Structure formats: C-alpha cells, structure tokens
Homo-oligomer: A and B are copies of this chain.
C-alpha cells in the first residue's frame, strides 16, 4: 500500500494556489499539507512539519526560489523540490536545477502532467516539461557555441570603460567625459575605440543598443 505524498505549495499567487489545491484534493495519493506565499514561510513550515515535496514557484517575493531551494536541499534533504514557473527562461531553469531541484514544469502544463510530475519526482526521478527540456538543450548548445565560435560573445568591459560607457549613454560628448573623469580627450577616445572593438559595434548608435540589449552596465 502506498503512502500519501505530502505536498507543500509555495506560490505568491493565491488564485494559483487555490487552483492547484482544487486539482490535488481529488487525488487519493496526494495531500496538500500546507501553502506558503513567500520564501521564508517555506523554511518556517519545514522546521515544524514535514513534507515529501515542495511545489515551488521560482519567482517568489522576499526570498528567491533559488535561495529556498538551496536551504531546503541542505537542511531538509528528505524533501524533494518540483520547481514551477510562468517562464521558460533559460536562466531560471539552469540555475534552479543546479541548486537541487528535481523537476521543472511550467504553469501552462495541464492537470494530468502536474500529477505525473509530482508522482515522478516523489519516486526519486526527475521530471521536466517538454518545453523545458528544449530550453535545457538550447542552453547546452549555446554554451558549446560560446566557447567555440565568437559570435554574440562580448568580452569583459573594464571598470574605466564602463565609466566612459555610462557617460556616453547619458549623452556626454568625448570632451565632457574627459572633464568629468579628469583625463585627456585622447584617453577617452582610446576607451571609446576599445568599447567599439569589444562590442563589435560600428558606431555609437550600435554601442548604445548593444549595451542596453546585453545589459553591460549592470
């Protein structure tokens, strides 16, 4: 005889949690033992009661899903994690899987797939939505490409170059930048030249676009 799978639902969208609740309550082998609306609550809950599996939203307020994942894996190793998210974002997927999540499904997966995912992960295996699998594949391809070909790859921009770049985007001219940073006009020109080379831009317009698109100033 199988035991019931004790599930903790962690998502800040009440309506969503309600929905999952409604879906799971019809299943005899699954029991929702708690619901949390932010990261810290998950940890608090697990300190008091046990759960076999956490249905964990990647994008939680207060504490990131990835942070929660880390802690759960370290302190509550008996509890599995099934990540769940709106977004099939490469960064989310790879990061949370690297921090101990056993599965990743999207919020646009149906009732049946949700149940399959819960039972699979609880059984000690991993489960990914079809779309997520593709994303993971893409990610692997990319990391291979990035190391081979040099397209789309932007070398590290130095501290000083960043300062110059920031001022360029704020519409400073080369002269103004030189005064602002107390360096020669020629030095600023040199930095600009390096920036164009590194970003593979043909001119300032491209430099600004590439900077914003690739968030080079973060």
Instruction: Answer whether residue A169 sits at the interface, using C-beta atoms and an 8 A cutoff.
Output: yes
Q: Number of copies of this chain in the oligomer?
A: 2
B171 with A18: CB separation less than 8 A: no
Q: Which residues of B contact A16 (CB under 8 A)?
A: 15-16, 19, 107-108
Q: How far is the CB of A95 from chain B (nearest CB, A)?
A: 20
Instruction: Answer whether residue A1 sits at the interface, using C-beta atoms and an 8 A cutoff.
Output: no
Instruction: Answer whether residue A20 sits at the interface, using C-beta atoms and an 8 A cutoff.
Output: yes
Query: Which single member of B14, B108, B173, B209 contacts A110 (CB below 8 Å)?
Result: B14
Instruction: Answer whether residue A203 sits at the interface, using C-beta atoms and an 8 A cutoff.
Output: yes
Q: How far is the CB of A62 from chain B (nearest CB, A)?
A: 14
Instruction: Answer whether residue A42 sits at the interface, using C-beta atoms and an 8 A cutoff.
Output: no
Instruction: Answer whether residue A202 sits at the interface, using C-beta atoms and an 8 A cutoff.
Output: yes
Known contacts: A19-B20, A19-B22, A22-B23. The answer to whether A206 contacts B171 by CB under 8 A is yes
Known contacts: A20-B19, A171-B202. The answer to whether A12 contacts B208 by CB under 8 A is no
Query: Which single member of B14, B21, B168, B203 contacts A108 (CB below 8 Å)?
Result: B14
B204 with A109: CB separation less than 8 A: no
Instruction: Answer whether residue A93 sits at the interface, using C-beta atoms and an 8 A cutoff.
Output: no
Closest B-chain residue to A15, C-beta based? B107
Q: Which residues of B contact A20 (CB under 8 A)?
A: 15, 19
Which residues 3-55 of A have a CB within 8 angstroms of B? Answer: 12-16, 18-23, 37
Which residues 164-218 of A have a CB within 8 angstroms of B? Answer: 168-171, 173, 201-209, 212-213
> Can you name 25 A-B pairs with beta carbons within 8 Å?
A12-B108, A13-B107, A15-B16, A15-B23, A15-B108, A16-B16, A16-B108, A18-B19, A18-B22, A18-B23, A18-B110, A19-B19, A19-B21, A19-B23, A22-B22, A22-B23, A37-B108, A169-B205, A169-B209, A171-B203, A203-B204, A204-B208, A205-B207, A208-B212, A209-B212
Binding site for B on A (CB under 8 A): 12-16, 18-23, 37, 86, 106-111, 114, 168-171, 173, 201-209, 212-213
